[in-house]
Structure 1
Amino acid sequence: MVVDDQAMVREGVAVLLGLQPDMVVVADVADGGQAVAAAREHDPDVILMDIRLPVLDGLEATRRILDVPPGRRRPRVIMLTTFELDEYIFDALRAGASGFLLKGASAADLAQAVRVVAAGESLLSPSVTRRLIEEFSARPAPRARTMPALTARETEVLTLIAGGLSNAEIAATLVVAEETVKTHVGRIFTKLDLRDRAQAVIAAYEAGLVVPRS
Structure 2
Amino acid sequence: MHNEKYQIFCKKHDSPCCRRCVVETDDNCGELNALNDVIQNVKSSDAFLELEQLLAELSENLQRIRKDREGNISSLKESKTKTEKEIQETRILINNHLDNLQESLTKELYVAEEKENKKISCLISSIQQKEREITECQTNLDKIKQHASDLQTFLAMKHIQQDVMNNEKFIESLLKEANMNHVSISFEKENTLEVLQDGNHYRGYHVM
Normalised TM-score (structure 2): 0.16
Which has more helix, going by share of residues?
2
Higher-RCO chain (CA-CA 8 Å, sequence separation at least 6): 1
TM-score, normalised to structure 1, is 0.16
- Computing the radius of gyration from Cα coordinates, the structure with the larger value is 2
